[in-house]
Amino acid sequence: MNIQKNHVVTLHYKLTEDTAEGEFIEETYGDDPLEFIFGVGMMLPSFEEHLEDKLAGDSFAFTLEPEDAYGLYEDQAVVEIPIGSFADETGNIDRSKLIPGSPLEMNDHEGRVYHGVVQEAKIEAIVVDFNHPMSGRTLHFKGEILAVRDATPSELDHGHVHHGGHDHH
């Protein structure tokens, strides 16, 4: 079965920066393979383009430029937020969660969630980087397709792959 929209794809990959010999980022070998529903927005469109029509047993190797992956690194996505924005209902600020390298989740006035990483903790403000951690990086994927099958109606309805006795109540 060729990989098409609404198929469940199971694969192993190794991800490096720039080329196959580049800096190691992550891999699934030695761990659970990646499993996803193809063509429903779970994965980067450019990642899926390179896998379309492949079969179980096929190998793949391709490189995604930043524009086709997680975007270019944008300096304007690094913002300084007044320390008062981090106060709880009583006006207390827990600075132990505001140390450089800490992940941070913030909501805007419309309720949208933004994920960032604390870069610097100043006295009156916190500097937060809202760029995706992989932005600005050229990504090289190499791997193999393990299995391809039709997604079940339940998987399509829920938008993710079900394993064994997985059930939603």
CA atoms of 98 and 106, how far apart (whole Å): 13
Residue 163, Cβ density class (10 Å: 0-12 exposed, 13-18 middle, ≥19 buried): exposed
Query: Which strand (E) or helix (H) includes residue 119?
Result: strand 113-121
Q: Quick check: 169 pLDDT over 80?
A: no
- Tens-place pLDDT, residues 1-52: 999 999 999 999 999 999 999 999 999 999 999 999 999 999 999 999 999 9
- For 28-46, give the DSSP string: -TTSPPEEEETTTTSS-HH
Q: How confident is the model at residue 164 (pLDDT cuts 50, 70, 90)?
A: low
Mean pLDDT, the chain, whole residue set: 93
Say which amino acid occupies 40. V
Structure tokens at 155: 């998987």
CA atoms of 96 and 76, how far apart (whole Å): 26
Ordered domains of the chain (ranges, CATH): 7-68+136-158 (3.10.50.40), 75-129 (2.40.10)
Label residue 39 left, alpha or beta by phi (over 0 means left) and psi (-120 to 50 means alpha): left
Q: Quick check: 167 pLDDT over 60?
A: no
CA atoms of 70 and 77, how far apart (whole Å): 13
How many Cβ atoms are within 10 Å of 130's Cβ, its own excluded? 16
E strand residue ranges, 5-97 = 7-17, 24-27, 34-37, 59-64, 78-82
- Taking CA atoms, 161 is separated from 12, 34, 167, in Å, by 16, 10, 11
Q: Quick check: 112 pLDDT over 80?
A: yes
